[in-house]
A and B are shown apart, each in its own frame.
Chain A
Amino acid sequence: MSALDPRTIRRDFPLFEREVNGKPIVYLDSASSSQKPRAVFEAMDDVYRRYYANVHRGVYEIAAESTNAFEAARAKVARFVNANRTEEIVFVRNATEAINLVAYTWARKNLVAGDVILLSHMEHHANVVPWLMLAEERGVELRWIPMTPDFRLDLTDLDELLAGARLLAVTAMSNVLGTINDIRPLADAAHAHDALILVDACQFAPHVATDVQAWDADFVAFSAHKMCGPTGIGGLWARYELLDEMPPFLGGGEMIRDVRLDGFTTNDVPWKFEAGTPAFVEAIGWGAAIDYLNELGMGAVRDHEMQLTRYALDALRARFPESLSIYGPNDVSIRGGAVSFLFDGIHAHDISQVLDEDAVCARAGHHCAKPLMRRLGVPATTRASFYVYNDEADVDALVEALAKAEKFFGI
């Protein structure tokens, strides 16, 4: 029995009061972005109504209140990922910006032509394109960890791949396959080769208790909007010494200590990386989302998703034993709740269109992971993904809608 009760949880999410096509919404796209509990927009509403003033600027009362709330949110994020220090959290727009920040500051300062960055075949474009751009600009060499037939990283040649590497950048959980990668051994291997490790935890952090220190990671990127928080805010965690030595990212207000006509000095970590008025209302909303998740308990969140994913994998295989292929591990202890699948002869987009008739919201496409789709040899998949508000009834609705699609397209 799961410790979470999705039916009670759903009452905290006003969007589920809505219907589409006269049917309650079956939201199976949380891997793309999660829905938000009332507590999040109440916290944001509260800022705008009661104490909205720019942060780190004014000495008046409401400016102090907004600054305190903003920095309290940073502390909540820091505790949520078990950072050693609150200052190790840099607020950014999202995980994409976090990775770009590392590419533009640490990497451009430290890497030269011929240096190696090791990535994997299951990365999201956010952890591919910034490095392709760097490779084009600097002549850095990119290498790729391949994938096993059962959708896991193939670490057979890891030591050879890491030879000469300065950075290993890898996802903790694939947004397409659901695969959870065991980060600690990867970090140990990278460090043994004097390389750093960047972890894309955008999919992982919303679903599994995250401990950047236990990972022994160097950089970790994540977004608020996939973990019940608002859009436009995310985090980069990095070891303090690294942040301290990194050059600034964007230039502007807040990131400086002093500006003269002939130069500037930078602010302390982490504000050195936060030029301009930050999305502090969103950061405060993210803090409320973290409070909400902590209230549920990340252990319970993970247990619930393992159970529901097991149920979904079994239900899909039982109902469509011949026609449906699932792309991802079958063992739920090494995977998250993103389930990608494909019907023989029906394109993922057409499946999603039929699902939409029954208000079943599932993503179709390449999921911003085209290298992986090429590796799988498919143009696109349909992906159903779960979160705290989903239950078995949602999976049943998905299965019924898929049966309808199969019948409609006559396979």
Chain B
Amino acid sequence: MAGLEDLYREIILDHYRSPRNRGELEVPPAHKVEGFNPLCGDEVVLYIDVDPETETVRDIKIAGQGCSISQASTSMMSSAVKGKSLAEVHQLTRAFKALMSIHESKLEGEGDGSDLEAELAGVRLGDLEALQGVVKFPVRIKCATLAWNTLQQGLDEAEHAPSP
């Protein structure tokens, strides 16, 4: 059985207690997006400022409330994507999701982890790797992925929003 220390790594608790990039950005130019996890009431609010010229995440601020995993994951995500190009963000998102779904793909017989290696190749996850323990607690995977799904939704919306 996986122990609590696998789930609640120190770096996660640190992000939970002292979330990075907490705050708001002016909308517009920033885009605001909210994500909910109906299971436990986790709530993630993102303010994403994308520079259309360079296609880069110029700034990101986070708000919301929820469990340590959802809030720490949001904080870590914000640090990971800030200043990155949209292409890099996309790559990070895929890599993070692969990290989270390793269990599911094995269960469904769709892969043996080699997909994961492919997704992770050349991507530096850094602190985000601390969230890997979450896959041993399948109920909590949604808590960890909420921030990334919300980010994806926000970037999609921002892309399709009429230019100011």
Q: Which residues of A contact B (CB under 8 A)?
A: 21, 346-350, 353-354, 357, 364-366, 370, 373, 379-380, 408-410
Contacts and interface: CB of A to CB of B under 8 A. Distances in A.
B60 to A, nearest CB: 22
A373 B38 CA distance: 13
A379 B8 contact: no
Contacts of B67: 347-350, 380
B1 interface: yes
Contacts of A410: 13
Contact of A408 (B1, B8, B42, B137): B8
Given A348-B40, A353-B140, A408 B4 contact: yes
Interface in B6-49: 7-8, 13, 39-43
B141 to A, nearest CB: 13
A251 to B, nearest CB: 32
Contacts of B43: 379
B41 A380 contact: yes
Nearest to A380: B41
CB-based closest 9 A-B pairs: A349-B67, A347-B67, A366-B41, A380-B41, A379-B41, A379-B65, A365-B40, A349-B40, A350-B68
27 contacts: A21-B1, A347-B66, A347-B68, A347-B71, A348-B40, A349-B67, A349-B140, A349-B143, A350-B8, A350-B69, A353-B137, A354-B4, A357-B3, A364-B40, A365-B40, A365-B41, A366-B40, A366-B41, A370-B41, A373-B41, A379-B41, A380-B40, A380-B66, A408-B4, A408-B8, A409-B8, A410-B13
A370 B65 CA distance: 14
Contacts of A365: 39-41
Interface of B: 1, 3-4, 7-8, 13, 39-43, 65-69, 71, 137, 140, 143
B4 A357 contact: yes
B79 to A, nearest CB: 21
A349 B42 CA distance: 9
Most A CB within 10 A of own CB, among B1, B67, B69:
B67
Contacts of B40: 348-349, 364-366, 380
Contacts of A373: 41
Nearest to A411: B17
Given A349-B40, A349-B143, 18 more contacts: A347-B66, A348-B40, A348-B67, A349-B66, A349-B67, A349-B140, A350-B68, A353-B137, A357-B3, A365-B40, A366-B40, A373-B41, A379-B41, A379-B42, A379-B65, A380-B40, A380-B67, A409-B8
